[in-house]
Amino acid sequence: MTLRITWLAHGATSATRRASFPEDEPIEEKAHEAAARLGDSIPCTDRVLIAPERRTRETAAALGLSGTTDPLLRDCDHGRWAGRALAEVQAEEPQALAAWLEDPDAAPHGGESIADVICRVARWTNSPDRGEGRILAVTHPTVIRAALIHAMGAPASSFRRIDVAPLSRLILSRHGAHWRIQALVSP
């Protein structure tokens, strides 16, 4: 029984360009065009699952895909930092931001810690509901980084060492109990 999950990061948003903690913003016009160009390179799939945020739904639509919304694919809850620029948080809460950047268990913003996101993504990935076949998960760079950490069995402290650009893809496969990394592709 083989399961293959292609994780696709949503297109760029204004928050991406501003280095801000995201809210439920749309993707940029250029991201619509870039996603549309990716269409032919997306592998065949049995199921398309989409995170609930606007930016993931718009990315899927730009690819000409429809699918099921899955709330467990949602982005990290950034709590009271949502919508704020990283530089602004650094100026107002330097110790809290440093703790969040250094400790994957820290959640000084009142939202999810990175460790919480990794655990949520690991539960989703390993759920018997995934079954077998090919899944395309249109989600967030943070979720894809968490999936990669889980697949490698790496410590949560490795999270910040991974960059996932907009419209990047991670392909994982599982036959039996262990995940294999097949590719990490940037657009």
For residue 162, the domain's CATH number is 3.40.50.1240
pLDDT for the residue 78? 97
Domain annotation covers residue 150: yes
Domain annotation covers residue 87: no
Considering its fold, how many domains does the chain have in total?
1
Q: For the chain, which ranges sit under pLDDT 50?
A: none
pLDDT for the residue 41? 81
Q: Which two three-digit tokens encode residue 104? A: 């994957």
pLDDT for the residue 184? 84
Domain annotation covers residue 163: yes
Sign of the Cα torsion 174, 1, 74, 95 reads negative
Domain annotation covers residue 120: yes
pLDDT for the residue 73? 98
Residue 23 belongs to domain spanning:
2-77+113-185
Domain annotation covers residue 93: no
pLDDT for the residue 180? 93
pLDDT for the residue 187? 81
